[in-house]
Amino acid sequence: MSGFGDGYVGTAQDAVKIRRLEKQREAERRKIEELKNKSEDGQPGLLQFGSSTSEILETAFKKETVGLVTREQYVEKRVNIRTKIEEEEKEKLQKLQQEEEELQMQKRKKRRVKGDPRLSFCDDIENGSDEDDFEKQETKKNGPVKLGKDPTVETSFLPDREREAEEQAERERLKKQWLHEQELIKNEPLSITYSYWDGTGHRRVIQVRKGDSIGEFLRAIQQQLAPEFREVRTTSVENLLYVKEDLIIPHQHSFYELIINKARGKSGPLFHFDVHEDVRTIADATKEKDESHAGKVVERHWYEKNKHIFPASRWEIYDPTKKWERYTIHGD
């Protein structure tokens, strides 16, 4: 194509850009030449630029020890130069730390300026930033910060060893207190009206403890009746039976057990041991009678011979698990 010489030279804007780039390259070449010339002249500023502490020390020491010097002067100058360089480095380090602190202060001030002072929580934002910085510093020094419990949070449903230990101790204390109270009750005296039955009744009264068993009670009765009744004197305690409200009470049961369980028999309560009648003037079949009859003490041989005859025909062995609703009607 004619008119373009050896090739396409571009637009006027491209020519301007090319001239500007050439000027920049030329300026860079001049700067590099100047730096080379200065480094060859040995200026301290260029020697220190990009050099280590040992290189700076060696360069400065060479300048101070030009010509002949004594050994003492040689050592003294080297020590002085090293001390001076170390002091300069310390000053630079302190200056850098000071500049870093000032930069942090400026950042904090900028944060405060961003917060609107008209807002009620502006102070909280400022305090929060300071606390955050403090927490970061503490974390670096002492490791992660352990958070405590929030006393306002409901935690009663969570497992708590201390609370469980206190509850267990309280249960143990109440248990011991209850056992102590029961022992006091068992040691209380109990007067029992009974009737030795050999076909006719022989009513007596004897005093035992509430905690005594039926076997212990029958042993005391044997001692009481032995002078008067020969068959009682010659028999053993195992061959004596105690019948209360038409139930034969086994020897292992205690009066305390009957009282605490409010046990009932066919014709009345087993936990009343005196003799009294229901004195209500109007009989009500829906109300349970509160009569208490004297218990009978009989010799086993007599019972085996007469158990088919009234009243022995009504007697049954006492069973704590058996209820006697068909014999007694409970009221409100």
| Secondary structure, 3-state, 71-89 | HHHHHHHHHHHHHHHHHHH
* CA distances from residue 67 to 29, 42, 173, 215, 314 in whole angstroms, order as listed: 38, 18, 100, 129, 142
With tokens 């076909």, the residue in question is: 199
Q: How far apart are CA 299 and CA 203, in angstroms?
A: 15
Task: Specify the 3-state DSSP secondary structure of 318.
Answer: coil
Confidence category of residue 214, pLDDT binned at 50, 70, 90: very high
Q: How far apart are CA 228 and CA 99, in angstroms?
A: 119
Describe the strand order of the beta sheet including 189-197 as a list of residue ranges.
201-209, 189-197, 295-299, 240-244, 247-249, 316-317
Per-residue pLDDT at 269 exceeds 80: yes
Give the residue-averaged pLDDT of 56-85.
69
More confident residue, 117 or 201: 201
Q: Please say whether the beta carbons of 252 and 237 come within 8 A.
A: no
Q: What does the pLDDT look like over 133-156, one tens digit per residue?
A: 655 665 555 555 556 666 777 766
Domains and CATH numbers, the chain: 190-274+292-317 (3.10.20.90)
**Which two structure tokens, joined as six digits, stand for 200?**
């006719």
Beta strands in the chain (DSSP E): 189-197, 201-209, 240-244, 247-249, 295-299, 316-317
- In this structure, of 114-128, 141-155, 318-332, the range with the lowest mean pLDDT score is 114-128
Highest mean pLDDT, choosing among 11-20, 21-30, 251-260: 251-260
With tokens 């229901």, the residue in question is: 278
Give pLDDT, residue 32. 81
Backbone angles phi and psi of 268, in degrees to 5: 165, 180
Q: At what angle do helices 122-142 and 71-114 cross, to 10 degrees?
A: 140
> Measured in whole angstroms, how far is the alpha carbon of residue 93 from the centre of its chain?
52
Q: How far apart are CA 255 and CA 253, in angstroms?
A: 7
Give pLDDT, residue 136. 61
Q: How far apart are CA 249 and CA 256, in angstroms?
A: 13
Q: How far apart are CA 4 and CA 10, in angstroms?
A: 10
- Tell whether the torsion through CA atoms of 29, 30, 33 and 39 is positive or negative: negative
With tokens 């009345």, the residue in question is: 268
Per-residue pLDDT at 43 exceeds 60: no
With tokens 């870093």, the residue in question is: 100
In sequence order, the 6+-apart residues with CB closer than 8 A to the CB of 61 are 77, 78, 81
* CA distances from residue 315 to 221, 238, 306 in whole angstroms, order as listed: 21, 18, 11
Q: How far apart are CA 83 and CA 11, in angstroms?
A: 64
Asked whether the whole model's pTM tops 0.95, one would answer: no
DSSP state of 145: P
With tokens 């419990």, the residue in question is: 149
More confident residue, 140 or 253: 253
Helix intervals (H) in 187-314: 214-225, 230-234, 255-260, 300-306
